Structure formats: structure tokens, C-alpha cells
Amino acid sequence: MTTTALNYESNRIAELMEVPTEAHDEQWLKESLQQAIMLELATLPPYLCGLWSIKDPGESADAFATIQEIVFDEMSHMGLVCNMLTTIGGTPRLADEKLVPKYPGSLPGGVRPELSVSLSGLTKQSLDMYSQIERPDEPIVEARESHTSIGAFYTAILEAFRNHQDLITGTRQVTRNMSAHGKGNDVVALTSFDDVEKAVTTIKEQGEGTAASPDNPFPGGPGELAHFYSFREIFHGRHLIQVSENPKKYEFQGAVIPMPQAFPMGTVPKGGWALGPLAVPDEVRRLLDTFNHHYSSMLRFIEQAWQAETPAAAAQLLNKAVGQMFQLQAPAQELMRIPLPDNSGSTYGPEFRYVEAEA
């Protein structure tokens, strides 16, 4: 599998899900895991834009803490999937213009093709989008929709591992202690099928909950819900509570969750602000270039970490990636304070555009 065969805007996940189960071989599993890595990465920029747009985290503690924990969950999910790929001899790919998320647009691989994912500040519309990304096949609240969920894709991946446990070698496993953000958030080595099963279960249930409960079984704090229900709480402005026991029923009728005051970041046009209808001022271009440079460097360091031959080298590269990540928030929020020149009242914001390293 090479990057020339990969494309973020393909329908590859939908195609892989149509392959008969008995044909879910090593190559199917490697392709599926690469697509899953791209899928995990795709959730981070929208969630981060919403998080960074909150003007005063102290006054919006419930919403800010919830979205922040979800971001850390998604980061650990991506690390776990990278370990799934390397444990069967594959190599994660992220640092390539063809593979990084494209906004606005669909999720990678043809997952939820009717859903357009975009970059903007935190609004009711963006919260609805976040929750649609995480929506399970059978949510315990609100109407069921007919679609193939991210959870269903992971179920197919787990079954392929179950049928090919001999592929698990423990090769190039990168680890990181992230337990401060939840008991399931550590990026751990996957050297057995049991390890893989625990990792897939964590990814699925942190995002979707279970068929019986909206709770996150691997929470960062007491009472933390799975991502779908957490986003719906902020969207509805009420905590989700159980309103009856038999039958068990939940409704958004709990304590009020105030909608955070947010910078009015506009929706990033396809290809970035420079390709939109508005001229980009020099200061905005400088901030965009700074942000995109750090974002791209972060992706390159992540990719290199899972190519490293020793745990020490991998840890060093991952630390460099984290260092680049911490450089993203400042230029992003500076952009969110600069009005668009169209008198709309909206502001600029980060593009999350990949740029090649300077020679």
C-alpha cells in the first residue's frame, strides 16, 4: 500500500465495507487501518476550532471541559490506531497533501457522505455537525438514522483482527501516558488480540456509548458521557438525565448548560481563505502560514514517530509533535480576532492546510 493509492476524498471505506467478511485479509486490514487513521485526524480540526473559539473558558467551564476532553480522546484514538497498523507490519501515513482532511467536505472514505464537515467557530450548527460525526447506529435518544457509523467500521476491523490474530507482532509500538485525561486514554502497545480488542472497545464506546447507556465507560471525570451525547447536551443546552427506569429512558431535561460566548469564526472556504472571494491581508497571511507550518510539522513528526526503530526515538519524535501542537492555539485565536472584510461580522480562523517542509 503506497500513498499514491490513497486519497482523502475517495470512497475507500465504503468500498472496504462492501468486501465480503471472508475476504478481510491482511491487505484489507492494513488499508482499513490507514483509513481509520485519516478518519480520526479528520475529527480534530473541527473540534479544535470550536474549542479555541470559546472566549472565556472559565465562564463556559462545562462546554469547554467537555470539548477539550473529547479532543484528547480523539488524539489517543489516533495513536491507538497507528499502533494497530504497525503491529501488523504497516506504516501510518499522514504527511501528504492527498491524505490530510479537506474542509468543507465529507469525512474520508465515503463515511457519512451526506454530512459536510467544515471549520468554523462554536455554534449550534457546528455542535450539530460534531454530534452527527459521532452518531451511533442506535442512539438511545433521538431518532435512529440509517447510515454506516464509524463504530460499525471499527467493528469490522476488530473482527478482521479476531480472524487474523497471527498478524499481531508488536512491531514499532509507540506509547504515551495520557491517563490525566481519562483511564482509557493512554496510548499503549498492542501486542495481543486482547490488547487490540480493548483499544477498539475504548475508541467505540468513548465515541458512541453503548446500546444500554450514554455513559463514557472510560471517562476523564465522574459522569462523563460518550462524545455523541456530550455534544448533544451542549447543543440542547441541558444535561441528559434518566427520566424513567422501566422502560429506561433518557431526555435532555437536566441542569442548564449555557451556550458559550464564542469568536464568530466564519466557515473556511474550500482550499483556504486565499482561494475564497476575499483578499487576504498580509497579517492574516502571516498567521495562516505560521499555523499551517506548525500543523504540517506536527503531522510529519507523528508519521516519523511510528517509523522509528527504537522506543526512545519514537518518544522523542512524538514529543516534537506535541511541541508543534502547542504552537497552534495562539495563531488560531489571533485569526479569530480579525474580522473578515465583508462586513458579515465573522472573523478569520485556522485553515488546517498541509504545506510541504521547506528545503
Q: Report the C-alpha gap between 344 and 330 in whole angstroms.
A: 24
**C-beta of residue 317 within 8 angstroms of C-beta of residue 305:** yes
pLDDT at 294 over 80: yes
Quote the pTM value.
0.93
> Which CATH class for the 3-265 domain?
mainly alpha
Of 135-144, 181-190, 309-318, the range with the lowest mean pLDDT is 135-144
Higher pLDDT, 222 or 65: 65
The rounded Cα 133 to chain-centroid distance in angstroms is 9
Highest mean pLDDT among 207-216, 241-250, 340-349: 340-349
pLDDT at 298 over 80: yes
Domain ranges of the chain: 3-265
**Chain mean pLDDT for the chain:** 91
Give the pLDDT confidence score for residue 1 in this predicted structure: 42
